[in-house]
């Protein structure tokens, strides 16, 4: 686990965004951990999160022209990441969508820069991949090209209901469907490595290991 990824997991735990216990996921699974990016709701923590997004994107080597944040969490994430990138000497434009089209003023569903060139979609996680698919459609409809998806945490677990689990994760399915990379700041492997370095979290590590054995890809 490289230093940036290690720092991100530790940061998420320290802010209470990444928690251990018993949680029910959207898929109805009993998960031993939960990641809620909506809890990055203070200026200082959002600024730090944006630094992780920006540096991860730059380190990926992906060529891009602008950022796109799907409503609603992606709006803040794309905006903050654009600010962080500017601070690193990479000034880039960004846009986001409305859930409902505006019927006055400039109208439409896209706010911000005109979608153009190679576009990075920024979100918190990929659960079913719905927001990514909608984003890809909007970007392509505008004549631009989605070039990557950037998320905070990849849970690296099989998609689908327990009775019909896929062999792939939602992240893998999105990448394969659209032919673009999905880049994450951290993933389940990074989380597991972090737990291995925290003796007080041994019980949580064991539960995460059991969960990974059952649902991991």
**Which residues carry out catalysis?**
102, 104
Separation CA 171–CA 184 (nearest Å): 10
The SS3 call for residue 169 is strand
**Secondary structure percentages of the chain, helix, strand, coil, to 5:** 45, 25, 30
The closest of 134, 133, 170, 171 to 150, measured between CA atoms, is 171
- In sequence order, the 6+-apart residues with CB closer than 8 A to the CB of 3 are none
Taking CA atoms, 183 is separated from 118, 156, 157, in Å, by 15, 12, 15
Structure tokens given for 203: 């019980």
Cα gap 144→138, rounded to integer Å: 9
């Amino acid at each position: 686990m490289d230093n940036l990824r290690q720092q991100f997991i530790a940061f998420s735990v320290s802010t209470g965004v990444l928690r251990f216990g018993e949680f029910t996921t959207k898929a109805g699974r009993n998960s031993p951990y939960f990641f809620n990016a909506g809890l990055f709701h203070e200026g200082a923590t959002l600024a730090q999160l944006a630094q992780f997004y920006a540096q991860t994107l730059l380190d990926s080597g992906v060529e891009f022209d602008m950022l796109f944040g799907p409503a609603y969490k992606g709006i803040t994430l794309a905006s903050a990441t654009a600010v962080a990138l500017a601070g690193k000497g990479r000034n880039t434009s960004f846009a986001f969508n409305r859930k409902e089209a505006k019927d006055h003023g400039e109208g439409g569903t896209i706010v911000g820069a005109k979608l153009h060139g190679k576009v990075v979609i920024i979100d918190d996680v990929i659960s079913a991949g719905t927001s990514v698919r909608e984003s890809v459609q909007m970007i392509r409809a505008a004549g631009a090209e989605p070039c990557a998806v950037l998320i905070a945490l990849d849970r690296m677990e099989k998609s689908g209901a327990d009775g019909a689990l896929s062999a792939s994760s939602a992240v893998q399915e999105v990448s394969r469907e659209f032919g673009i990379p999905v880049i994450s700041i951290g993933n389940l492997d990074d989380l597991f490595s972090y737990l291995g370095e925290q003796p007080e979290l041994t019980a949580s590590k064991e539960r995460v290991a059991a969960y990974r054995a059952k649902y991991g890809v």
